[in-house]
């Protein structure tokens, strides 16, 4: 099987571990996120990238530890949208020490950690979590912090190579003497707007001044750790402490002077270790006409995505992209296309017709080394399901009654509802929360004789033929075939006549006529889906002229001639 990016990265990690740790070692793969606010789908790429590589290594027989750091000891830098403006008073404080703005969790950090962790679990991703606020305060990194302060001049020189020194008031030597890679949190205002004024090597005693409130204090690192290393030192320190073998990051972290390139040198110089294998990953954004409504509680988070996307499909969406390939997630019409692409893949898998690449992607999407990932096995097309829900205004019994016509083997509606999960709930959520008002389907209450009279004779004949043949073709496949064959038949052409420009125009005119009679507009859901959604009797009502409608009757007679 041809190697893809996952297997290539796993090859590199495997070779590194064999050389440095041996065959019986546990491979350590790391990811990390700062809980600075709602954790969006772009952030998912980091732990999911690690998860894919870790699963590949487990499949090769390795013991793998996927550790995920919650960087909740980082400072609040800005107040995100949706958070009270007065939270600007907490800027500079660690996320772990800021109260939850809605009073539901023990801290600001815990709110966002809890939500994202639940989403990862539903996706079959179960790392070993480390909260950095606890690790620092426990003293896990005590000796590594001391070593960084001891070698602060060497760290300064590495960092200085990548800095623009223009405009600096102090000389390089003066800045080197004053430099410390450790930032205490002030014991008075609890912010990190501090700078060290001295450090005593023999007992690890430091003193600092807070530039925010003016407080001056000191303590020994042997007694407590109330602060953290600056990021470009913190990251390589943790690589060394956890013996990390693989960790990805955004592509911006791999540019010259960025966190990874600097970290490679610091881990070797300060800690005598080697940086882990690294890959950069590209940006994940939001595309299409996605309705992101804060009032409805819908944002581009993993939990919001799993409200409308089956877990296996969300995994597949990420797994099918190379790490360096950016892509957008569309909560709008693009979501319907995503479901159709997935259903096509599942059909290939079930027929044994999928190629090796798609077979591997399907396996990564639907199972891990420890569990099966949820997806709907009785898959009614998502566009059909959402259209029926839209047209019936989410009347579940009516929806199930219509959908049951596509799955005749499931006569009991309660059983059908169960078999359609999680897709049924995803479709309900999408229609209720993400379908724009101007895209919702309006259905006429009666036959529009005035509109019908304005149609061409051919379109009138086509509509009459459709109405007469609905009973015999009342399923998705039958209606689809009927829709495209009628404009051919009324023109005396064979059903298998290849379409040309004239025939395509005739089909389009026929479709517009149908939308006009059913929806009062020239567009709408796919017509077979629309017809199934409104039901056979109502479809006939809206497409069949009344016998006492003189103008319609006259036009029908003309069309018949």
Tokens 């079959």 belong to 124
**pLDDT score at 163:** 83
Place of tokens 């005035």: 450
- In whole angstroms, give the CA distance from residue 52 to residue 29: 10
The proportion of the chain whose per-residue pLDDT surpasses 90, expressed as a percent, equals: 81
Rounded Cα–Cα distance for residues 263 and 285 (Å): 28
Q: Determine the 3-state secondary structure of 474 from DSSP.
A: coil
User: Does 532 have pLDDT greater than 60?
Assistant: yes
How many whole angstroms separate alpha carbon 217 and alpha carbon 154? 26
Residue 525 has pLDDT above 60, yes or no: yes
| 14-40: average pLDDT | 96
What confidence tens digit (pLDDT) does each residue in 452-503 have? 999 999 999 999 999 999 999 998 889 999 999 999 999 999 999 998 999 9
Strand (E) positions, 82-201?
Answer: 128-131, 182-184, 194-200
- DSSP label at residue 556: H
pLDDT at 555 over 60: no
Integer-rounded Cα Rg, in Å, for the chain is 31
CA torsion angle for 129, 102, 119, 90 (degrees, to 10)?
-50
* CB neighbour class for 414 (10 Å; exposed up to 12, middle 13-18, buried from 19): exposed
Q: Which of 280, 214, 218 is nearest to 246 (CA)?
A: 280
3-class SS string, 291-308: CCCCCCCCCCEHHHHHCC
Report whether 319 contacts 365 (CB < 8 A): yes
DSSP string, 203-226: TTEEEEEETTT--EEEEETTT---
Query: Which pair of structure tokens corresponds to residue 178?
Result: 């004053």
Beta pairing class for 327-330 and 280-281? unpaired
Encoded tokens for 435: 């379908």
Provide the pLDDT for residue 345: 98
Burial 53-86 (b: 16+ CB within 10 A, else e): bbbbbbeeebebbbbbbbbbbbbbeebeeebeee
> Within its chain, how far is the Cα of 99 from the centroid?
27
Question: Is pLDDT larger for residue 82 or for residue 255?
Answer: 82
Query: Looking at the predicted structure, is the pLDDT value of residue 28 above 90?
Result: yes
Q: Considering only CA atoms, which of 72, 78, 55 is closest in space to residue 109? A: 72
pLDDT tens digit string along 412-434? 889 999 999 999 999 999 999 99
Confidence band of 551 (pLDDT split at 50, 70, 90): very low
User: How high is the pLDDT of residue 437?
Assistant: 86
- The candidate with the shortest Cα–Cα distance to 525, out of 335, 384, 341, 379, is 384
The percent of the chain in helix, strand and coil, each rounded to the nearest 5, is 50, 10, 35
The model's pTM is 0.87
Kindly report the average pLDDT of the chain as a whole number: 92
Q: Residue 182, SS3?
A: strand
Q: What CA–CA distance (Å, rounded) separates 212 from 191?
A: 8
pLDDT band, residue 296 (cuts 50/70/90):
very low
- Would the pLDDT of 285 be above 80? yes
The stretch 81-101 carries a mean pLDDT of: 97
Question: Model confidence at 29, in pLDDT bands (50, 70, 90)?
Answer: very high
- Measured over the CA atoms of residue 305, residue 308, residue 311 and residue 316, the dihedral's sign is negative
> What pLDDT was estimated at residue 553?
41
**Please, are residues 544 and 467 in contact by the beta-carbon 8 Å criterion?**
yes
Q: Tell the burial category of 218 from Cβ atoms under 10 Å away from its Cβ (0-12, 13-18, 19+).
A: middle
CA–CA separation, 458 vs 472, rounded Å? 22
Residue whose C-alpha is closest to residue 383's, from 418, 416, 430: 430
In which band, very low, low, confident or very high, does the pLDDT at 548 lie, cut at 50, 70 and 90?
low
Q: Which of 125, 154, 152, 146 is nearest to 241 (CA)?
A: 146
Q: What average pLDDT does this structure show over 11-39?
A: 97
433 with 307: CB under 8 angstroms?
yes
Mean pLDDT calculated for residue range 392-403: 89
Alpha-helical runs (H) found in 434-535: 449-454, 457-469, 476-489, 501-519, 527-534
Residue 549: the pLDDT is: 54
Cα 277 to Cα 16: distance, rounded to the nearest angstrom: 8
Dihedrals phi, psi of 415, to nearest 5 degrees: -65, -40
Bond from prior residue into 422 cis (ω within 30 degrees of 0)? yes
Indicate the length of the chain as a whole number: 561
Residue 558's pLDDT is what? 29
Query: Which of 244, 254, 249 lies closest to 33, judged by CA?
Result: 249
- Rounded to 5 degrees, φ, ψ at 210 are -90, 120
Q: What is the spatial distance between Cα 99 and Cα 106, in angstroms, rounded to a whole number? A: 7
- What's phi and psi for 287, nearest 5 deg? -125, 175
Query: Residue 529 — very low, low, confident or very high, per pLDDT cuts 50/70/90?
Result: confident
- Over residues 279-292, the mean pLDDT reads 75
Q: Are strands 194-200 and 249-250 parallel, antiparallel or unpaired?
A: unpaired
- Digit-coded pLDDT (tens) for 42-62: 999 999 999 999 999 999 999
Report the b/e string of 367-397 with b at 16+ CB within 10 A: ebeeeebbbbebbbbbbbbbbbbbbbeeeee
Q: Which residue in 230, 225, 233, 174 sits closest to 204, CA to CA?
A: 225
* Residue 12 half-sphere exposure toward CB, CA atoms < 13 A: 15
- Among 21-25, 80-84, 236-240, 428-432, the least confident range: 80-84
Q: How far apart are CA 517 and CA 545, in angstroms?
A: 11
Judge whether residue 539 has pLDDT over 90: yes
Find the largest Cα–Cα distance for the chain.
107
């Amino acid at each position: 099987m041809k190697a893809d990016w996952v297997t290539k990265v796993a090859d590199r990690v495997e070779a590194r571990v064999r050389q440095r740790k041996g065959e019986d070692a546990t491979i350590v793969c790391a990811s990390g996120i700062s809980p600075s606010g709602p954790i969006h789908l772009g952030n998912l790429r980091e732990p999911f990238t690690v998860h894919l590589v870790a699963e590949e290594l487990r499949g090769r027989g390795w013991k793998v530890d996927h550790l995920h750091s919650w960087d909740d000891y980082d400072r609040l830098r800005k107040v995100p949208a949706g958070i009270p403006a007065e939270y600007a008073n907490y800027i500079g404080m660690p996320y772990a020490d800021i109260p939850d703005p809605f009073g539901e969790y023990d801290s600001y950090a815990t709110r966002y950690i809890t939500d994202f962790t639940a989403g990862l679990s539903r996706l079959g991703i179960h790392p070993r979590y480390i909260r950095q606020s606890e690790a620092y305060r426990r003293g896990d990194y005590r000796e590594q912090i001391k070593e960084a302060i001891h070698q602060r001049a060497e760290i300064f020189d590495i960092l200085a190579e990548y800095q623009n020194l223009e405009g600096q008031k102090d000389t390089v030597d003066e800045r080197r003497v004053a430099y410390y890679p450790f930032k205490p949190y002030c014991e008075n205002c609890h912010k990190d707007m501090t700078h060290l004024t001295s450090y005593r090597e023999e007992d690890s005693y430091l003193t600092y001044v807070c530039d925010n409130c003016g407080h001056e204090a000191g303590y020994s690192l042997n007694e407590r750790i109330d602060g953290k290393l600056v990021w470009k030192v913190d990251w390589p320190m943790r690589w060394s402490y956890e013996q990390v073998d693989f960790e990805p990051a955004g592509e911006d972290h791999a540019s010259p002077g960025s966190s990874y390139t600097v970290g490679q040198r610091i881990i070797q110089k300060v800690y005598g270790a080697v940086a882990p294998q690294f890959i950069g990953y590209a940006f994940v954004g939001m595309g299409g006409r996605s309705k992101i409504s804060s009032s409805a509680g819908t944002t581009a988070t993993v939990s919001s995505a799993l409200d409308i996307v089956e877990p296996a499909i969300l995994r597949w969406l990420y797994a099918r992209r190379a790490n360096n390939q950016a892509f957008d997630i569309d909560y709008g019409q693009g979501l319907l296309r995503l479901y159709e692409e997935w259903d096509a893949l599942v059909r290939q898998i079930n027929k044994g017709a999928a190629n090796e690449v798609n077979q591997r992607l399907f396996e990564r999407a639907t199972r891990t080394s420890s569990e099966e990932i949820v997806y709907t096995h009785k898959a009614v097309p998502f566009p059909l399901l959402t259209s029926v829900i839209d047209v019936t205004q989410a009347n579940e019994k009516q929806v199930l009654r219509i959908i049951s016509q596509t799955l005749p083997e499931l006569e009991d509606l309660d059983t059908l509802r169960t078999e359609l999960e999680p897709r049924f709930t995803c479709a309900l959520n999408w229609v209720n929360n993400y379908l724009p008002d101007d895209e919702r389907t309006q259905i006429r209450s009666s036959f529009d004789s005035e509109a019908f009279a304005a149609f061409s004779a051919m379109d009138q004949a086509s509509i009459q033929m459709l109405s007469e043949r609905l009973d015999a073709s009342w399923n998705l496949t039958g209606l689809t075939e009927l829709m495209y064959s009628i404009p051919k038949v009324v023109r005396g052409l064979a059903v298998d006549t290849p379409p040309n420009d004239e025939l395509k125009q005739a089909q389009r005119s026929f479709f517009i006529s149908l939308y006009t009679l059913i929806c009062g507009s020239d567009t709408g859901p796919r017509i077979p889906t629309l017809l199934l959604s409104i039901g056979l009797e109502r479809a006939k009502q809206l497409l069949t002229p009344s016998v006492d409608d003189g103008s319609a009757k006259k036009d029908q007679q003309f069309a018949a001639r």
